[in-house]
Amino acid sequence: MNRIIECVPNFSEGNDMNIIKLITNEIESVEGVKLLNVDPGKATNRTVVTFVGAPEVVVQAAFLAIKKASELIDMSKHKGEHPRMGATDVCPLIPISGISMEETAEFAKILGTRVGKELNLAVYLYEAAQVNQERNNLSIIRNGEYEGFFKKIKLPEWKPDFGPAEHSVKSGSTVIGARDFLVAYNINLNTTSTRRANSIAFDVREAGRVKREGNSVTGKIINDEKGNPVVIPGSLKSVKAIGWFIEEYGIAQISMNLTNINVTPVHIAFDEVCKKALERGIRVTGSELVGLVPLKSMLDAGKYFLEKQKRSIGISEKELIKIAVKSLGLDELAPFKPEERIIEYLLKDESKSRLIKMNLVEFADETASESPAPGGGSISAYVGSLGVSLGTMVANLSSHKPGWDDKWKEFSVWAEKGQYYKNELLKLVDEDTNAFNKIMTAFGMPKSTDEEKKKRTAAIQEATKYATEIPLRVMQLSYESMEIIKAMTEIGNPNSVTDAGVGALCARAAVIGAYLNVKINASGLSDKSYAADIIAKGKQIEEKAQALENEILKIVNSKI
């Protein structure tokens, strides 16, 4: 697996787009780096930039961006709602794939060393890159902000990890580290009061608030027997939060960092703030995500709100995201564009899903053209996806049939399974064609020398093996999906039983069609033992699919 890390530097400029563009130009100048998102905030006067790539090129791009920010941003003139201490306030590296947190932390140290040495800026490490547990928390490091750091940096315990023990008047100091994926999330309130927003933030954030006598704001702090302040913890784990007023929007917000979305996901944070705000006579009107969000966060949110309505969660990815956006009010302040805000969508290679991006007419035209692909394998996968889609439709119709309210959960489970099979088969529509193209590429390899011939033969065999395994996967998925189709003929809405029957016909056709491709591709394999084994597996699936189709059609005909 390729090593990929994400970098999310926060620059202390959110109004001058020319400055921001000059900084991001430095990032994009590095080959192998992909700029995913640029999210400026006027009130915070801060821009969150997100880019990904291999560790070495990401470090180079981050260094160039920090360098350019130090040249263009004058911190002595900076004003903004968000806490900050430098032109590049914070620069975290985040492991995405093929790399551990420990390895990512080492790259953070490499970056910190360069910034300190070559740019002569004070650098502090945080989170996984910082071994000193007393100074690995970003908010603790940043406490005092730009204005207070001139004195703070002179304290022995606050000597920088890299660079001089001098806080630059123009560029400030910066924090570099390695951390898990963090979601920056703001929740909008129908109040202009920062104090009330802060009260809600203290209610929910993990750190909570200090306990006081009488008045919770001005009362005397209560200490324990050791003289330490007694803390009332907040209701949400792995959450940092503060309240602020955003002049740009004319409202107060709860600004949150969700540091572990497996512990506290976005939808739980939203609902808890709604609850605490209502207790204080305040309403939540919507929310906004800063930067990017994982796809799972949006899908989980959509499912969460559907289940609260006792609705089926077995709907398309697009619809789940739409439910999440509307339920969280993510489009209150500005349009929410999933293709620009969900990290997996930005990383997706669209060239590998060309066919399923076509409309029905385009797909039919492409199939009917003189091009040999898409061929029978891709069509089999698509027919299989249509078959299970029909079964899934019956499950969703049944889940909210009048009088069947007590059964919605059961049908929701079936529909969710159906969505899985549909999505997997749709992926194989393009993958079967990609597999065919790999064979063509292998045949096009040079064959002038014995060594070239050897490599070409090996490549052809490897590509042919892959092209045999893809239709076998289509067979397996299409056959397994028939379990859903059968269940819907037995317990689903009787008015849609013929829809499930057509689904069974499609699934069986997909199995038989894909098996033809398994056999013809296996015939080109030099490993005859492997070829015989995969053909035997396919034959077994074909026989079971035909038998199951007969069972399903008997049920359908008995109910017509």
For the chain, list the domains and their CATH numbers.
Answer: 4-178 (3.30.990.10), 183-347 (3.30.70.670), 353-559 (1.20.120.680)
Going from the C-alpha of 197 to that of each of 101, 109, 182, the distances in angstroms are: 34, 37, 22
Query: Catalytic residue at 82?
Result: yes
How confident is the model at residue 212, as a pLDDT? 80
Q: What residues contact 436, with CB distance under 8 A and at least 6 apart? A: 372, 373, 375, 377, 467
Question: What crossing angle do the helices spanning 376-399 and 408-443 adopt, rounded to 10°?
Answer: 170
Query: Catalytic residue at 432?
Result: yes
Query: Which residue intervals of 329-407 are DSSP H helices?
Result: 338-341, 343-347, 360-368, 376-399
How confident is the model at residue 216, as a pLDDT? 63
Query: Cβ(412)–Cβ(314) under 8 Å?
Result: yes
Query: Cβ(154)–Cβ(171) under 8 Å?
Result: no
Residue 48 phi, psi (nearest 5): -100, 120
Residue 16: other Cβ atoms inside 10 A: 14
User: Which two three-digit tokens encode residue 556?
Assistant: 């359908």
d(CA 266, CA 260): 10
How confident is the model at residue 217, as a pLDDT? 63
Whose tokens are 């989980």? That residue is 300
d(CA 514, CA 478): 10
Of the residues 39, 78, 82, 203, only one is catalytic, namely: 82
How confident is the model at residue 248, as a pLDDT? 87
How confident is the model at residue 291, as a pLDDT? 83
The letter for the amino acid at 119 is L
Q: What is the dihedral sign for C-alpha 144, 149, 153, 156? A: negative
Of the residues 161, 203, 430, 432, only one is catalytic, namely: 432
pLDDT per residue rounded down to tens, the chain (560 residues): 578 899 999 999 999 999 999 999 999 999 999 999 999 988 889 999 999 999 999 999 999 999 999 999 999 999 988 889 999 999 999 998 889 999 999 999 999 999 999 999 999 999 999 999 889 999 899 999 999 999 999 999 999 999 999 999 999 999 999 998 889 999 999 999 999 999 999 999 999 988 887 666 667 788 777 778 888 999 999 999 999 999 889 999 999 999 889 899 999 999 999 999 999 999 999 999 988 888 999 999 999 999 999 999 999 999 999 999 999 999 999 999 999 898 888 878 777 889 999 999 999 999 999 988 899 999 999 999 999 999 999 999 999 888 898 899 999 999 999 999 999 999 999 999 999 999 999 999 999 999 999 999 999 999 999 999 999 999 999 999 999 999 999 999 999 999 999 999 999 999 999 999 999 999 999 999 999 999 999 999 999 999 999 999 999 999 98
Which residue from 50, 53, 60, 61 is spatially nearest to 27, judged by alpha carbons? 61
How confident is the model at residue 215, as a pLDDT? 63
User: Which two three-digit tokens encode residue 176?
Assistant: 């570099």
Please list the residues that pair with 52 across neighbouring strands: 6, 34
